[in-house]
Amino acid sequence: MILSIIVVAIICALVAVESRNLRYGAYALGGVGGCLALTFLAFQSYFFAVFQLGVVIGIVYLLLRIINNRGIVKDEEARSNPLSYIVVAAFALLALSLFLPAMKALPTPQEISTKYAETLRAFDVFGMIVIVAVAGIALLSMLRSKGQE
Amino acid sequence: MTLFLPAFIVVPLVAALAIMFLSWQKKPGAVTLANVATVYLFASALALYFFRPFNTVLLFNISGWLSPGGNLLILDGLSHIHLLVANFVAWMVAIYSIDYMKKFANRDNYFALLLLMITGINGVILTGDFFTLFVFLEIGALAAYALVGFGNKRAEIEAAFKYFVLGEIASLFILLSIGFVYGLTGTFSLAQVSQAFPAGAVAIKNLILTLFVVGFGMKAALFPFHAWLPDAHTSSPSPISALLSGIIIKTLGVYALVRILYNVFGVTNQISLLLMVLGGTTVIVGGFLSVGQKDIKRLMAYSSISQIGNIIAAISLGSPLGIMGGIFHAFNHALMKPLLFLNAGAIDRATGTRDLRKLGGLSSRMPIVSAASIFGSLAISGLPPFNGFWSKMFIIIASAQAGNLVLAVIIAVGSILTLASYLNFMKGAIFGPAVGEVKEATPLSMLIPIVILAFLCLGVGLFVPVVSQYLVNPAVVSIFNGIGYGKLMGGN
Amino acid sequence: MYEYAGCLIIFLIGLYAVMVKRNLYKIVIGILTMEFAVDFFLVLLGNRKWGTALIVLAVTLIALALLIRAQAVFQSLDAEKMKELNG
């Protein structure tokens, strides 16, 4: 079941990255996040499924907002140099071949819920809120600043 | 005494929020608040040296309920030296920024971001938990991206964007590796992982360690992941360049990597070799690229890359002298490089340019800055009696002792390249006929940190035995303790 | 075990986007995809609570600030045009 969610997520990721129309790309990225929310559902963490969905909707909203308000070109431009493709392909093969044996050693998602306890503590959530605060302050400083006078 | 520890995170955080609040209310006081906070932090870091008995570890448990895998803040020799120098440089930067940032709009935001970056740095140094490490790493990184782009012009935004992309990729590699660690051990706690990691899983261990090396290597600007550093450290405001080059690449990069490699996993031979090779290459690459630079700050940025190579190569030797050389060099560079960047900022502020071709003969017109620049250049080139001389010498001797003559030669060549770059700097800006004009005098708040740092470079060089006994050796002991670190925590 | 491979594939898709694409916005999408991929990985491994959702949000905010400023300063989001600083 989780595997099918992941397959959907992979498709969404491909669309997000490749689509020429940036709006669909933003929605597709939302799709990836939505798959995450579905995964939470599959593990019966209902509150966090909703939370994740909320955050994802926020992210997609921000992405769309920037497309609309700043007149950002909606379509992709020319292709970049072929060398990057080769590098990425080589890296991908390398990564997959190295990671697959490592992944075999990991317990499968089905086993985990019984073995390991939830360990993300309140302190870490606090930390993440701080991170968002930093981002917010950074956003303020970059958007309102007139720079060096 | 352990109650002090959370303060290192809480104080800058609360100060930053207070600054934002004051700024929202249109009230002044941001500058004072920032400076008070940084003084307090440095004073606490220093004071803890008297409260922490020699070679012991201070622990603070955050989770009130002692859950298994409780979240710890840990202060041992290695953390302490980083904590001390990081908060000291942060204080110097805060003083320097009083006047330097007067010309920027949004100075309050700057101080808030600065304090948040300090929060991140202190958090990374003190944490005993992988996920918390990641959280504070991100706090520091996000603040750094914003501060690099603070000037909001073309060069700054470009630098900030590149730093952002590479920095985030680095963080993600690190988080990926943390995921593997968690999947295999079921805990995020550094101490518990070191106990619980399956012994036989060599291939996976290498994979995890490699991911960490790549991730933290990107944060530390190790070759071949150094590409973001020259732009980021050149285009940011000079006090931020000082903090980035002097502290962040060492704390978020080298310290975290060393902590994970040596204290949690126990470094393997392959990884040591990898670090040695990467470190040596970084020394040469950074050295060569810095020699031809005409922009003062860019020259210093490439030089930082070279010095990080020295530090990593030294630590990878694994011998007591090698590790000592590496840590000592990290400590020294954390004093030398901010000195140099603050000087560059002063020069830039006074003459309006950072281009060596347009500068010259500042020795007569900016005597204090010139003298300090000379101090800094000599120190980083490894000349006696400055601090850099000792640390470089230790590293070269350690390489020779380990039979690694190639590395010794590389470091020596790197030192020569460094000397050449800074001779260029001195010839182009300090000595020679007077070129260009000095538009304004350097304000006192900028001169004070410069003078203090300059005297420290000399002082540490003169008092090496004292520094090494109280500051460096405890750090070396911590690293040498290796996985014993975990047992010290009692697996909790 | 294949679930994890799926996470890795999403991660690689994002990495591909960051390395190959020229439009800054697409690069940001690539980074966000990578973030989601690692988030997935962690969630599958047991972090059934918050995941790293807030961190992704924070990264998005910074990325947006950078995009907006880049657009304003460079008048385009083409990575090729951002070659002011050499080296």
Res A78 pLDDT > 60 = no
Q: How many CA atoms lie within 13 A of C53 on its CB side?
A: 29
List all residues 6 or more positions away from B210 whose beta carbon is below 8 Å from its beta carbon. B271, B274
pLDDT in tens, A45-54: 788 888 889 9
Predicted confidence at residue B86, as pLDDT, reads: 94
Quick check: is C85 in a domain?
Answer: no
Quick check: is A43 in a domain?
Answer: yes
* 3-state SS, residue B60: strand
Q: Is C87 on the interface with A (CB under 8 A)?
A: no
Reported ipTM? 0.94
Predicted confidence at residue A79, as pLDDT, reads: 60
Q: Range of A114's domain?
A: 2-144
Residue A71: pLDDT band with limits 50, 70, 90: low
Instruction: Identify which has the larger pLDDT, A46 or A145.
Output: A46
Quick check: is A149 in a domain?
Answer: no
pLDDT in tens, B204-232: 888 889 899 999 999 999 988 898 999 89
pLDDT in tens, B83-94: 999 999 999 999
- The pLDDT > 90 percentage for chain B reads 42
pLDDT in tens, B377-422: 999 998 888 998 999 999 999 999 888 888 999 999 999 999 999 9
Lowest mean pLDDT among A1-5, A74-78, B66-70, B396-400: B66-70
Quick check: is C84 in a domain?
Answer: no
Predicted confidence at residue A117, as pLDDT, reads: 47
Quick check: is C87 in a domain?
Answer: no
CA pair distance B76, B70, nearest whole angstrom: 18
Q: Is A116 on the interface with B (CB under 8 A)?
A: yes
List all residues 6 or more positions away from B200 whose beta carbon is below 8 Å from its beta carbon. none
Chains touching B (at least 3 CB pairs under 8 A) are A, C
Q: How many CA atoms lie within 13 A of B444 on its CB side?
A: 0
Q: Is A147 on the interface with B (CB under 8 A)?
A: yes
Q: Structural domain tally of chain C?
A: 1
Q: What DSSP character marks residue B489?
A: T
Res B65 pLDDT > 50 = no
Specify the residue for token string 């086993």. A111
Which of A137, A140, A143 has the most B C-beta neighbours within 10 Å, making it the best mutation to test the interface with B? A137
Quick check: is C86 in a domain?
Answer: no
B159 backbone φψ class: left, alpha, beta (φ>0; ψ -120 to 50): alpha
Residue B262: pLDDT band with limits 50, 70, 90: confident
Q: What DSSP character marks residue B102?
A: G
Residue ranges of domains in chain B: 4-488
For residue C61, give the chain A residue with the closest CA.
A135
Lowest mean pLDDT among B87-91, B118-122, B365-369: B365-369
Res B69 pLDDT > 60 = no
Predicted confidence at residue A147, as pLDDT, reads: 47
Closest-CA residue to C43 (of B104, A49, B310, A97): A49
Q: Enumerate residues 89 to 108 of chain A having a beta carbon within 8 A of any beta carbon in chain B.
A: 98-99, 101-102, 105-107
Q: Which of B27-36, B38-47, B232-241, B352-361 has the highest mean pLDDT?
A: B232-241
Element (H, E) at B16: helix B4-24
Nearest to B135 among A117, A131, A135 (CB): A131
Cβ density class B151-160: b for 16+ within 10 Å, e for less:
bbebbbbbbb
The CATH code of the domain that includes A37 is 1.20.120
Q: Are B79 and B248 in contact (CB under 8 A)?
A: no
Please answer yes or no on whether A29 and C50 come within 8 Å at the CB atom: no
Alpha carbon of residue C51 to chain centroid: 17
Please answer yes or no on whether B142 and A123 come within 8 Å at the CB atom: no
Quick check: is C54 in a domain?
Answer: yes
Residue B239: pLDDT band with limits 50, 70, 90: very high
Please answer yes or no on whether B180 and A102 come within 8 Å at the CB atom: yes
Please answer yes or no on whether A102 and B207 come within 8 Å at the CB atom: yes
Residues of A in contact with C36 (CB under 8 A): 9, 13, 29, 32-33, 36
Q: Range of C6's domain?
A: 2-77
Q: Is C1 on the interface with A (CB under 8 A)?
A: yes
pLDDT in tens, chain C (87 residues): 778 888 888 999 999 888 888 888 889 999 999 999 999 888 888 766 677 888 888 888 888 888 888 888 777 777 766 666 654
Residues of A in contact with B145 (CB under 8 A): 138
